[in-house]
Amino acid sequence: MRIGQGFDLHRMKEGRPLMLGGIEIESDKGEDAHSDGDVLIHALIDALLGSKALGDIGTYFPPSDMKYKNMDSKLLLKETLKLSKFEIINIDCNIILQRPKLGPHILKIRESLASLLNIDVSNISVKAKTAEHILGELGSGDAIAAEVTLLIN
């Protein structure tokens, strides 16, 4: 078995869609990024690559490449899955954001990831935490972060 961990952080900007795990969450702000900014998928990609010591997301999808402008991160994940055989045992995710409240959306996010990865939803945990109105831009709602830990066989 091998472990992987990933982390991603983006600024939040008004008028941008908030993408998490491949679905859009209703919000007045979303990730400001070169791609669609899905922090959860980006952290997941880094965790997958890390589990096989294959580098990081920038190695394969450099932000300097205009091809990835506003790119759907689900496609980046699909490309990542082609790089190696990832037999995922389980995934545990934290999303750190001040708002909106993610409670009502957690199951949908887990189901979206389960479908993208072709694994059972019971093997995917997604937890949301606020930054308690501290921690600078995370605390003021001007940034969002995600961390992912996973185990592969």
List of residues contacting Mg ion (CB under 5 A):
8, 42
- Amino acid code (one letter) for 140: S
Is the Cβ–Cβ distance between 69 and 34 less than 8 Å?
yes
Task: Specify the residue, 63 or 104, whose C-beta has the smaller distance to Mg ion.
Answer: 63
Q: How far is the CB of 35 from Mg ion (least distance, A)?
A: 7
Copy the structure tokens of residue 72: 């759907």
Q: How far is the CB of 112 from Mg ion (least distance, A)?
A: 17
Q: How far apart are CA 42 and CA 63, in angstroms?
A: 12
- Using CB positions, name the residue nearest to Mg ion: 42
Task: Specify the residue, 57 or 150, whose C-beta has the smaller distance to Mg ion.
Answer: 57
Give the closest residue to 55 by CA, choosing from 92, 6, 90, 89: 6
Q: How far is the CB of 140 from Mg ion (least distance, A)?
A: 20
Lookup result for tokens 């791609």: 35
Task: Specify the residue, 54 or 121, whose C-beta has the smaller distance to Mg ion.
Answer: 54
Q: How far is the CB of 80 from Mg ion (least distance, A)?
A: 13
Cis ω for the linkage preceding 100 (within 30 of 0): yes
43, HSE (Cβ side, Cα atoms, 13 Å): 27
Task: Specify the residue, 31 or 86, whose C-beta has the smaller distance to Mg ion.
Answer: 31
